[in-house]
Amino acid sequence: MDSGLTGLRQVKQRAYEILEVASPEDRTSRAVQVCILLLIVLNLIALMIETMEPIYWRWRGVFLSFEAFSVAVFTIEYVLRLWSCTASGSYAAPLRGRLKFALTPLALVDFVAIAPFYLPFIGVDLVFMRAFRLIRLMRILKLGRYSSALRSIVAVIRAKKEELAAVVFLMLILLVVASSLMYEVEHAIQPEKFASIPGTMWWGVMTLTTVGYGDVYPITPLGKLLASAIAVLGIGLFALPTGVLGSGFLEQIQKKAPSGNRCPHCGGSL
């Protein structure tokens, strides 16, 4: 009996290592990760092709079979992750540990990626489910498990969240000020296009992002001068988050550098 339990624990530990914490030298884990990564990419391609109705209806059976196969693989992956997570000390408690694991961001992504397929079987209206078809796009977030670059992006955003929040707040202030000024200058001449300050914010967003669709634009000399100044400010303003993210990536790269290249006392480069 004890040998059976020991064998089950070893299987659970091995499953956890393959799915969660495998080393680069683990060929089995590497193969599993590559296969799941390829399946995620194929799912995204299939989802895009399905919007081409002539192709979809001609090969509808193939698309449905591929979707069923994908959901089966992702379901097995999710169940194995949920079952084997107790091999980690962080989720050792059989019930509480699995519940804690299920509420982690990546586990929630895994669940949402398969949930739309099963909802019709529990009585959810199929007409209502059409609105949730694009939830399958959540599978793209599963790439975060297998891409160190995506994990670095998340780490940078977390580390620089306060600076990014300050930049976003500054953008909102500039948007409100620019829209208010343009409304005051252009409303009397173009009441249908600059009807209100909230309505003028469409122009403000397009100008600050330097896109400018051309459907709303100033025609008075003062309005043109103001729009030019706002467009220039927009270019400079959008350079701020670039600098914040750039410094964050540099810090991440330095953290990943071998410890032998850094001073053990001050942390500076040698």
pLDDT at residue 225 is higher than 80: yes
pLDDT of residue 72: 92
Q: Is residue 267 part of a domain?
A: no
Helices (DSSP H) in the chain: which residue ranges?
2-19, 27-50, 53-58, 60-84, 94-102, 105-118, 126-129, 148-159, 161-186, 197-208, 221-256
User: What mean pLDDT is predicted for residues 176-205?
Assistant: 87
Q: Give the integer Cα–Cα distance in Å for 252 and 157.
A: 11
How many CB atoms are closer than 10 A to CB 75?
A: 16
Residues 179 and 257 occupy one common structural domain: yes
Of 177 and 237, the structure prediction assigns the larger pLDDT to 177
Tell me, yes or no, if the pTM score tops 0.85: no
- Ranking 2-6, 134-138, 176-180, 258-262 by mean pLDDT, the lowest is 258-262
Q: Which of 122, 146, 170 is the last residue of a domain?
A: 146
Same domain for 139 and 62: yes
170-195 average pLDDT score:
88
Whether residue 210 is contained in a domain is answered as yes
Same domain membership, residue 79 and residue 17: yes
Q: What local confidence, expressed as pLDDT, does residue 125 receive?
A: 53
Percent residues over pLDDT 70 in the chain: 77
What CATH number is attached to the domain comprising 235?
1.10.287.70
pLDDT of residue 218: 86
pLDDT given for residue 210 in this prediction: 66
Confirm whether 232 is domain-assigned: yes
pLDDT at 61: 92
What residues have CB less than 8 Å from 30, skipping those under 6 apart?
22, 24
Per-residue confidence (pLDDT) for residue 143, from 0 to 100: 66
Q: What is the mean pLDDT of residues 25-48?
A: 85
Residue 80 sits in a domain of what CATH number? Answer: 1.20.120.350
Burial of residue 127 (CB within 10 Å: 0-12, 13-18, 19+) is exposed
Cβ proximity of 218 and 145 under 8 Å: no
Q: Do 58 and 11 reside in the same domain of the chain?
A: yes
Same domain, 122 and 168: no
Q: Which residues contact 23 (CB under 8 A, 6 or more apart)?
A: 29
Would you say residue 126 has pLDDT above 60? no
Do 39 and 120 reside in the same domain of the chain?
A: yes
Domain count, the chain: 2
Structural domain of residue 205, as residue ranges? Answer: 161-261
| Boundary-marking domain end, from 92, 121, 146 | 146
